[in-house]
A and B are shown apart, each in its own frame.
Chain A
């Protein structure tokens, strides 16, 4: 491209070509979404299996989510280094998913505190001579997690105009309603379904798309 004067139509052509080039310059590889889709699906299915087949793993399977933070940070730094351009939507997405990570931590913290309080109340009822109430907070806590899962998924779907994630976000929120009425084992199946629809499948779609674009 040289520095030359153009007609008005040529100017318009340059603008639209360059805007199009900028738009298609960066594609999410979907690795983060795939990673978290797999982690949450595996943790949920493992918890379901423990509840259904009545056995216990020697460790808390959900600790995998803590372990998964490390590759997420490495992937994010590596992708950031490779990238020659930073888009506006990428900044918004980074904020949304960082807030999501913090919100999940806060939700787990609050759920643990409420669960402990439930235990104290049940102890008090039992100490007063009553029958120990057969009510478990864990039957409801998944609803809050699924509600939080749905928010960044739907916001990302809106920013990227990406239908598979929109469907995934809706599945998360429908599951958030359903888990209030189901037992904990079923809650875990719904959580696995939500993680698969919200992150694993959209992640695979993004990965395939980016491979095709790289090959083109």
Chain B
């Protein structure tokens, strides 16, 4: 029986953001933009969706008089990401069998 993949994570840009954030403690918005090659507007929308789901934390502050947005993954986000990978593995294993 296939488990449903988390719809929040099963989207290219949101999954990319989560994969980047799971590897680091904290990342700037500009870093995520640079690595995902996404537009600022689209990335901002997807980050808000992840934030609303409780998967990431967004901290806004000023650095050298410029606004800075810092993102980090939450414990809920880590658990959801791990479950997503497990579900993905079960899909692929079933597909290969």
Contacts and interface: CB of A to CB of B under 8 A. Distances in A.
Do A and B truly interact?
yes
Interface of A: 1-6, 8-12, 14-15, 17-19, 21-23, 25, 81, 84-88, 90-91
B46 interface: yes
A2 B15 CA distance: 11
A22 B25 contact: no
A1 B36 contact: yes
Contact of B26 (A8, A11, A85): A85
Given A8-B95, A14-B19, 14 more contacts: A1-B37, A3-B13, A6-B10, A12-B88, A14-B16, A19-B22, A19-B23, A22-B19, A84-B30, A84-B31, A84-B34, A86-B25, A86-B26, A87-B23
B11 interface: yes
Nearest to B81: A15
Main secondary structure of the interface of A (DSSP, over half): helix
Contacts of B15: 6, 11, 14-15, 18
Contacts of B34: 84
Contacts of A1: 12-13, 16, 36-38
Query: How big is the B interface, by class?
Result: 20 to 34
B44 to A, nearest CB: 12
Contacts of B12: 1-6, 10, 14
B86 to A, nearest CB: 12
A84 B92 CA distance: 35
Contact of A2 (B13, B31, B85): B13
Nearest to B92: A8
Contacts of B26: 85-86
17 contacts: A1-B13, A1-B16, A3-B11, A6-B11, A11-B15, A19-B19, A19-B20, A19-B22, A21-B20, A22-B19, A22-B20, A22-B27, A22-B35, A84-B31, A85-B31, A87-B24, A90-B25
A84 B24 CA distance: 11
List the 7 shortest-distance A-B pairs measured between CB atoms, nearest first: A18-B19, A22-B23, A84-B31, A84-B28, A86-B26, A85-B27, A86-B25
B25 A18 contact: no
A21 B85 CA distance: 18
B10 A88 contact: no
Contacts of A6: 10-12, 15
Nearest to B29: A84
A86 to B, nearest CB: 4
B24 A15 contact: no
B42 interface: yes
